[in-house]
Structure 1
Amino acid sequence: MTKKILIIRTSSLGDLVHMLPAVSDIARHVPGAQIDWIVEENFAEIPSWHPAVHEVIPVAHRRWRKHWWSAETRKARAALRKNLDARRYDIVLDMQALMKSVWLVRQTHGTRHGLDRRSAREPLASFFYDVKHTVNFWQPAVKRQRELAAAALGYTYDGEPDFGLHGITDGVQVQPYAVIMPSASRDDKLWPQEAWHKVFGRLHEHGLDLKLLSGSPSETERATQLVAGNSRALVLPRMDLSNVAKVLAGARIMVGLDSGLTHLSAGLGRPTIGIYKASTPVRTPLEGPAYTASLGERGNEPSAETVLSAVDQALAFDESAHADFPGGNAPTKAVGPPFD
C-alpha cells in the first residue's frame, strides 16, 4: 500500500544535503513510500538527485518576498495553493520548524508532523503541527533530520548516512585536481589569503591542479585575485548545481569554507576539508562516506598548518581506500576546533 509523504525543507543548500540521508532512511524503512518534497526553486535539483523522491514541488519564497503583493507574485502563490489543495498526504513532515515553512504546512492536507517547541529553532512553529516530536537541538544536523523522520514515521534508523547520490557519482573517474571553495555567504567566514596560498602549494606538491568555485561576480573576482599568476589554477564559470556536483565528484579532494557546496562534496563521497571561522561544526559538521575534517570554530579559525595536516591525511586515506577497497573510500572524520 502506498504511503504518501510530503517533506517540507525549502533551503538552504547545505541543509538540503543534510536532509538526503533521512530520505534514504524513509525509503528503506517505509514500504510503499511515495515521497514528494517542497523546495526553494534555486535548489530544486538537489531533491531530484535522490532516486526515492517521487516529485519535487518548487516554491519561490525568496523571490516572492521581494514583491509579495505584486500581481505576478499573488498569481504564483495562488497557483501553489491550488496545487497543494489538490493533494492528499498521509504524512506532512516539516523538517525546518520555521514560520516560513509553517506557511506551507498550513496549505497542505494530511497529518502534520514537526518539532515540539523545545526542539524547534522558532518555537511558535510547533503550534501548527498535529503531532510534535522531541529531537535534541545540539547534535549534528544529519542525525537530527534522521531522528525526526524516524519519529514521524515510526521506525528506528541505523547505519551510516546514505545520501542517495549514486546517480551522480557512479561511473565518474577521479582526476588529479582539487576543488577549492574560498567564498561564503558572509565575509566573516573568509580565510586569510596567505593561508590559502600555503594550502595551494601543498596541493600542488601532491600533483594536483586547482579548480575554484564561485557563485557571484564578487566571488569570481575574489577567486581570480587569490590565484593570480598561478598557471595550475582555474576559476570555473558559474554553473548549475548538477554541473558543480559533477566537478566535485571527480575531484581528488575538496577544501572549502563552511558552505553548502563543501557539504555537498562530503555527501558525494569525496575527501573534504571544511574551514569554520564564523560558525560551529558542532551542529553542522561535514558528513559523508569518505574522509572529512571540520576544522575551526566560531571565533577560532584553523591555522594553515592544521589544514595542511588534514590535506595530507585526506589524500593518504583516499589513496589507501582505493588500494584496499576499489571503488570506495575509508570513512574518517575529524570534527572540532583546531588545537594550535
Structure 2
Amino acid sequence: MQNAPHIVLIKTSSLGDVLHNLPVVTDIRKHLPDARIDWVVEESFAALPALHPGVGHVIPVAMRRWRKSWWRSRSEIQAFCRKLQTRPYDLALDTQGLLKSALITRCVRAEHCGHAWGSAREPLASLFYDRTCAIAEDLHAVERNRQLAASVLGYTADGAPDYGIRTPDLVLPWLPDTPYAVLLHATSRDDKLWDEQNWITLGKRLHSSGLRAVLPWGSEKEKARSERLCAAIPSAVCAPRMNLNEAAALLGKARTVIGVDTGLSHLAAALDVPTVGIYTATDPGLTGLYAGSRAVNLGGKHAPPTVNAVIEKLANLGVHV
C-alpha cells in the first residue's frame, strides 16, 4: 500500500454502527497521515462521518429507501454506482460485512477488502472481496472495525479508541441556559425500554441536584412519552424534533447523558460526555458503550438496572444527584 492511498470506507448503517467506525478514521490518519479517506453511508446518517475532520467526502447511499421499490429506484441506483466508479480510489474497505455493503463495495474500481467468511456478519459477503481478513468475533464492534482496517492497511491499532469528533458549534434557542442532563428514553424496540417510573424518579433526583432533564424524541409515540415524563419531572424540557447535528450539539453540551440501547447514547459517549447506558434486553459486552472511563454500561438481557444503580454510576462519573 502506497504512503498516500485514497481509501473509501463502506459502513452505511445503523447509527451505532456508523459511530463505532469513526475510530478507524483516526487510526488511519495516525498511521498514514497523507491518506485521503471518503465514506459511503446511509443518507440519514451522513452528518456523522462529516463531524470527523479526517473524512474528506461523505457519499450518501439510499439502500433503506431503495429497497422499498428496487424497480422504481433503478435509475438512481445506477447513477450512484456510476458515481462511485468514476472516483479514483486505491482501496475500498467494507467494515460492515453484509451483502448490501459488499455489493456497494463492488461498485468501486479499486481493491475490495473486508471480513473473511468466518468473521463477516453475513458470510456470503466475503465472496465479493479481493482480500479478506479474519477478525475475532468476541471483540467489541469498535475493535473489530479497528483490527480489520489495521490488518488491511498494515499497521497496529493499539491504545484506546479515538472517535475524533467534536461537538458542533450550534445554538439551540430552546435549550435552557442552566446545567442539564439528557434522558434518552426512546429506542427501536419496546423490550429495550426502561420503565417510565424509573425515568421519573431519576429525573426528580436530577432536578433536586440542580440539573434540568431534557428529553429528545424521534417519533410521535416517543414524543408522547417525552411529554408524559416532562409533566411528571419538575422543570423538564421536551426537546423539539432535531436533526443529527442538533442532537450532537445537545448531547455534547450536557452535564451527563443517561440512555437506553440507542445510537444517540453511543454518540454521547463518542463526544466524551459522562454517559450511562441502560440495557434491558441485550448484552452490552460486544455492542455497548465503548469510549473509556466516562462511559459505563448497566444491566443486560432481562436484567434492567435499578435507579439507585444508575445514580451510583453517575457518582462514579463525578455527577452527584
Deviations 1:146-173 (A, max 9, x none): 1111111100122221111136379xxx
* Structure 2 SS opposite 1:294: strand
Q: TM-score, normalised by structure 2?
A: 0.93
How many Å separate the matches in 2 of 1:229 and 1:194? Answer: 9
- Per mean C-alpha deviation after superposition, the further-off stretch among 38-47 and 185-194 is 185-194
How many Å separate the matches in 2 of 1:92 and 1:121? Answer: 18
* Structure 2 SS opposite 1:118: coil
The amino acid of 1:165's aligned partner reads I
* Structure 2 SS opposite 1:269: coil
Deviations 1:112-135 (A, max 9, x none): 111111111111111111111111
Pair 1:254–1:167, CA change in 2 (3 A):
closer
Give the equivalent residue in structure 2 for 1:250.
253
Pair 1:290–1:240, CA change in 2 (3 A):
farther
Corresponding residue pairs, total: 315
Alignment match of 2:285 (pick from 282, 287, 291):
282
Alignment match of 1:292 (pick from 290, 295, 299):
295
User: Is the 1:254–1:273 contact (alpha carbons within 8 Å) kept by the matching residues of 2?
Assistant: yes
Alignment match of 2:71 (pick from 69, 72, 85):
69
Give the equivalent residue in structure 2 for 1:213.
216
| Runs (4+) off by over 6 Å | none
Give the equivalent residue in structure 2 for 1:83.
83
Deviations 1:47-68 (A, max 9, x none): 1111111101100110111121
Q: TM-score, normalised by structure 1?
A: 0.88
Could you say what the CA RMSD is over the residues aligned between the two structures, in angstroms?
A: 2.1
Give the equivalent residue in structure 1 for 2:161.
161
Q: Which runs of 5+ in 2 are unaligned?
A: 171-176
How many Å separate the matches in 1 of 2:164 and 2:234? Answer: 36
The amino acid of 2:135's aligned partner reads V
The amino acid of 1:125's aligned partner reads A
Give the equivalent residue in structure 1 for 2:311.
308
User: Is the 2:167–2:271 contact (alpha carbons within 8 Å) kept by the matching residues of 1?
Assistant: no
Listed as ranges, the matches of 1:114-129 within 5 Å are 114-129=114-129
Structure 2 residue 44 is the aligned partner of structure 1 residue 42: yes
* Overall identity of the aligned pairs, in %: 44
The amino acid of 2:300's aligned partner reads E
Deviations 1:282-302 (A, max 9, x none): 111212255211111112211
How many Å separate the matches in 1 of 2:193 and 2:10? Answer: 31
Alignment match of 2:56 (pick from 33, 54, 78):
54
Give the equivalent residue in structure 2 for 1:98.
98
How many Å separate the matches in 2 of 1:202 and 1:149? Answer: 44
How many Å separate the matches in 2 of 1:233 and 1:263? Answer: 23
Listed as ranges, the matches of 1:182-197 within 5 Å are 182-197=185-200
Q: Which runs of 5+ in 1 are unaligned?
A: 318-340
How many Å separate the matches in 1 of 2:8 and 2:214? Answer: 37
How many Å separate the matches in 2 of 1:114 and 1:250? Answer: 36
Structure 2 residue 148 is the aligned partner of structure 1 residue 148: yes
Give the superposition deviation at 1:40: 0.2
